[in-house]
Amino acid sequence: MKLISTSACPHDCPSTCTLDIEHDDKSIFKINGNKENSYTKGVICAKVSRYRERTHNKNRLLYPLKRIGEKGSNKFQRISWNEALTIVSKKLLKIKKAYGSESIWPYYYAGTMGLLQRDSINRFRHEFDFSGQYSTICNTLPQAGWMAGVGSLMGPDPREVKYSKVIIMWGGNPASTQVNFMKHVQNARKKNNAFLIVIDPYLTKTAKIADLHIKLRPGTDGALACGIMKHLIENKKIDEKYLEKYAKGLSKLKTHLLKKDKNWASKISGVTYEKIITLSNLLSKTKKVFFRLGYGFTRQRNGSFNMHAVICIPTLLGAWKELGGGAFYNNGGIYNINKNLIEGLNYKNENIRMLDQSRIGPILNGDKSALKNGVAVKALFIQNTNPLVVAPETVLVRKGFQRKDLFVCVHEQFLTETAKYADVVLPATSFVEHNDIYIAGGHQHLTFGPKIIKELGECWSNNRLINELSKKMGSVKKEFSFSEEEFIDNTLKLSNLGSLKELKIKKFIDLQPEFNTSHFINGFGHKDKKFHLNAEWKINNKTFNKQFELPDHYDLIEKSSKKFPFKLVTAPAHNFLNSSFTETNASKSIEKKPKIKIHSKDMEKLNIKNNEIIEIGNNRAKLKIHAEAFDGILPGVVIVEGVWPNECFIEGLGINSLIGADSPEPFGGAVFHDSAIWIKKIIC
C-alpha cells in the first residue's frame, strides 16, 4: 500500500525543503514539495523530485567491500559486515598504538545534513582522541565576513521578501542552488512589483530573470560595495540617525571612502561608474531593500572582507529595521541545538590538533604546517564527502590517497572516486532509510525525517556504523548503544525543543525569532550591540585588524597576468549537488559534459571554435575540456559549472586540480572561484 510521509531534503542546500514522499515499505516513488511549509511552499528542485532514481539506483553500494587490486583500480571483493568491522577496528587500533591517536583522521562533510547522521562521526572522534576537523570547505569565508559586521548568525526572515521593493542577490545563484527562494522572489515581483538585482560575474539562471544584472570581475565585490557606499555618502543618502544608534565606525568609513578616486571602483570591478550610480540610486529609493548574500562571491582569497564590505551597505541605508529590509546570509545561529550527546562533546579533548578539511591535499602529502607540526595522517575514516572530487588541488589529494602507508575506510552510498581508493568500503543508507532531524541555513524550520523504507541490501546508517565500530574498538559508554530515536529525542529535550513524539506529530517547527531580534532592533550580536563598519577580525591582533579594518578592495586574489590571463569561476551545476547526482542518468544527461564558458572575443583571439577540445591550466595542473562560446561574462573571465567526477574529463583530471589549497585570511576556507589560468588551443 502506498503512503505519503513528510521528510526533509538531506542535501547540502540552504533550502532544506520539506518533502512529501510517496512510498511503500520497500520503495519510494514520487517526491513533491510540501505545501504547508511556509518556506518550501510546494516547490522543490527537479533533481530531488526524481530521487527514486538516486535511492533505487542500480549502482547503489549494497554490501561491504574489501580492496583486492591497486588503490583506485576499482577491484573489490564482497565481505560480511563482521569481517569489515574486524578489519577496520584492528587496523585503527594498530595505527593508534604505533603512531598515536592523532594519526587517525575521521573526515566528513554534509552529504547528509541530518544532525545525527552527519555529526555522529565526531562522537567517534572524541571517544578515541582522533585528530579534529576544521570544516572550512563551505562557510568559513562568508561567515567570517558576516560575523565581523553583524556579530551573530541570523537575519531577517527570508519569507519577508514578499514585502521588499528591491531584492539584491549578491554572489549567489538561487535559481540553481536553492530554487524555492526564487518562488518567494517571484511572488514579491508579482505582488509587490519588487525589482530584482543580481551581482554575478556571469549570466546565471538567476541573472537571466533579473531586472538588472551587474557583471563584475571575480573577487572585486569589496570595490563595488565601496563604490556604492561612496556615492551614498556623497549624496547624503545614508540614514545618519540609524547609524548613530546602531553602528560603529561611521566617521572612519566616511573619511576612508571619500579619499578614493571617482573611478577607483570601476577600474577594479569592471562595472562602469554609471552602473554604480544606478545601483546606488536604486538601493536608496526605498528602505525595503533585501540583500540575499550567496556563498559564491566569498570563495575568493579576499572573500571574507568582501562579505563584510557588502553588508555595510544595508547598514548605511538603515534597511535592517524595515519589514522586507536588511540582509540575510544564514540562520545557523537561531537553533541552539545541544550537540553534546550526538557529538560526545563532554569527552572532547581540547588539546587535540584540528586539521583543515580543505587542505587534505597538503596534509596527506606531509606538509608540516598543514599537519600542525604533528604526526603524519596514517588512516582516514570518511563519511558524507567525496574529497577526491570536491577538495582543492586534486593532484595532491590523489597522490595522498595513493600512499601505500595510508589506510582508508569510506562509508558511502555510491562507489565514488574517493571510495575507489579505499581499503574498505561500507554501504550507507539514504535519507529515507534512516531517522534524523534537520535544521536549515536558508530558513527557520526544524524538520523530522523518518525512516520510511527498509534499508537497501546491507546498508547501515552513519550512526549505526559509528556505534558498532566504537563498541568493537572498546567503547563502553551507554550512548554507543542508543537507537536513532533515543539520540533524537534526547537531543530535542536537551535543546528545549520538545520531544521526538511531539515533532513526529508536527513534522516541522518554525523557529523564526521575533521581528525585533531578527532585524536587530534590540541591537546587533556584538557586545556593544552595534554593527561594526570597522571590523575586528582577530582578537588581540591589532596589526592584522588595522590592515583589514575598513571595507576596501584587498588585493589578495590570484591575479590574471600575461602568463595566466583568465580568471576561472567553478560554479555549481543546476542538475548536480556538488558531486552528488553525478551518478544519476537524468542529471548527467542534461548537464552532458564538462565545458568551459569563454567570451566569443576571447575565443576569436585564441582561434578556438565552439565545442573544440582545448587545454587549460596553471602551476598546479593542466587538463583538457570542451570550449563553449558564451557572452554572458566579461572578456577575461571563464566559467566551468559543476563538480564533475575527474573521470568525466577527457584525461581523467577535473577542475579542482586548478584550485589552490592555501589558507585564505582571516580564518581559512576554500577559494573555488579564485584561480588564474591559461587557455591553449591544441595543435596536433
Ligand X SMILES: Nc1nc2c(c(=O)[nH]1)N[C@H]1C(S)=C(S)[C@@H](COP(=O)(O)OP(=O)(O)OC[C@H]3O[C@@H](n4cnc5c(=O)[nH]c(N)nc54)[C@H](O)[C@@H]3O)O[C@H]1N2
Binding site for ligand SF4 (CB under 6 A): 9, 11, 13, 15-17, 44-45, 48, 178-179, 577
Shortest distance in whole angstroms from residue 49 CB to ligand SF4: 8
CA quadruple 446, 451, 452, 456: dihedral sign = positive
Could you tell me the three cell numbers for 628?
563553449
Q: Rule CB under 6 A: say whether 320 interacts with ligand X.
A: no
Of residues 138 through 197, those in contact with Mo ion by CB under 5 A are 138
Residue with Cβ nearer ligand SF4 (202 or 576): 576
Question: Which residues fall within 8 angstroms of residue 605, CB to CB, at 6 or more apart?
Answer: none
Other Cβ atoms closer than 10 A to 399: 13
Helix boundaries (H) for 556-637 = 585-591, 600-606
Residue 248 has φ and ψ, to the nearest 5°, of -120, 135
Strand partners, 633: 202
Integer angstrom CA distances of residue 347 from 45, 292, 351, 477: 40, 39, 12, 11
Are the C-beta atoms of 493 and 65 separated by less than 8 Å?
Answer: no
Radius of gyration of the chain (CA): 25
> Could you say which of 120, 435, 578, 663 contacts ligand X (CB under 6 A)?
578
Residue 673 touches which member of ligand SF4, ligand X, Mo ion, none, C-beta under 5-8 Å by kind: ligand X
Q: Considering the complex, state which of residue 221 and residue 591 has its C-beta at the smaller distance from ligand SF4.
A: 591
Bridge-partner residues for 420, per DSSP? none
Q: Which of 294, 318, 344, 362 binds ligand X (CB under 6 A)?
A: 294
Q: Which stretch binds ligand X (CB under 6 A): 108-116, 256-264, 467-475, 602-610?
A: 108-116
Q: How far is the CB of 158 from ligand SF4 (least distance, A)?
A: 14
Nearest CA among 137, 139, 194 for reference residue 14: 139
Determine, following the binding rule CB under 5 A, whether residue 638 of this chain makes contact with Mo ion: no
Give the one residue of 127, 160, 221, 423 binding ligand X; rule: CB under 6 A.
Answer: 221
- Number of Cβ within 10 Å of residue 680's Cβ equals 12
Helices (H), 178-291: 179-192, 205-209, 221-234, 240-246, 250-258, 264-269, 273-284
CB of 373 to ligand X, least distance (A): 27
Q: 48 touches which of Mo ion, ligand X, ligand SF4, none (CB within 5 to 8 A by kind)?
A: ligand SF4
Indicate whether 322 belongs to the interface with ligand X (CB under 6 A). no
Residues 376-415 that bind ligand X (CB under 6 A): 383-386, 390, 411-414
Q: CB of 382: closest distance to ligand SF4 in angstroms? A: 22
Question: 507 and 6 in contact (C-beta within 8 Å)?
Answer: yes
Considering the complex, state which of residue 300 and residue 321 has its C-beta at the smaller distance from ligand X: 300
Shortest separation between residue 112's beta carbon and Mo ion, angstroms: 13
Q: In 57-164, which residue ranges form alpha helices assigned H by DSSP?
A: 81-99, 115-128, 140-149
User: Could you tell me which of 455, 461, 505 has the C-alpha nearest to residue 487?
Assistant: 461
Q: Smallest distance from the beta carbon of 185 to ligand SF4, in angstroms?
A: 14
Nearer Cβ to ligand SF4 (210/577):
577
Piece of the chain touching ligand X by CB under 6 A; list 198-206, 243-251, 361-369, 645-653: 198-206
Residue 12 binds ligand X (CB under 6 A): yes
Among 33, 64, 151, 219, binds ligand X (CB under 6 A): 219
- State the binding partner of 16 from ligand SF4, Mo ion, ligand X, none, CB within 5 to 8 A by kind: ligand SF4
All cell numbers assigned to 637 = 573571465
Binding mask 120-139 for Mo ion (x = CB under 5 A): ------------------x-
Contact 64, 80 (CB under 8 A): yes
For 246, 307, 624, the CA distances from 653, given in Å and listed in that order, are 50, 32, 8
> 508-510 and 445-449: which strand pairing?
antiparallel
Q: How far apart are CA 652 and CA 475, in angstroms?
A: 42
Does 200 contact ligand X by CB under 6 A?
yes
672 binds ligand X (CB under 6 A): yes
For CA atoms 71, 72, 76, 79, give the dihedral sign: positive
Contact residue for ligand X among 17, 28, 88, 137 (CB under 6 A): 137
With binding defined as CB under 6 A, does residue 462 bind ligand X? yes
β-strand pairing of 424-427 with 407-412: parallel
178, 110, 500: which is closest to 329 by C-alpha?
Answer: 178
Query: Closer to ligand X at the Cβ: 305 or 548?
Result: 305
Smallest gap from Cβ 177 to ligand SF4, in A, equals 8
Which of 109, 291, 531, 537 forms a contact with ligand X (CB under 6 A)? 109
Peptide bond into 392 cis (omega under 30): no
Select 138 or 377, whichever has its Cβ closest to Mo ion.
Answer: 138
Under a CB-based contact definition with an 8 Å cutoff, are residues 385 and 412 in contact?
no
* Of 148 and 243, CB closest to ligand X: 148
List interacting residues with ligand X (CB under 6 A): 12-13, 109-112, 117, 137-138, 170-173, 176-178, 199-202, 204, 216, 218-219, 221, 294-297, 299-300, 383-386, 390, 411-414, 416, 428, 462, 569-574, 576-580, 643, 655-656, 672-673
List interacting residues with Mo ion (CB under 5 A): 138
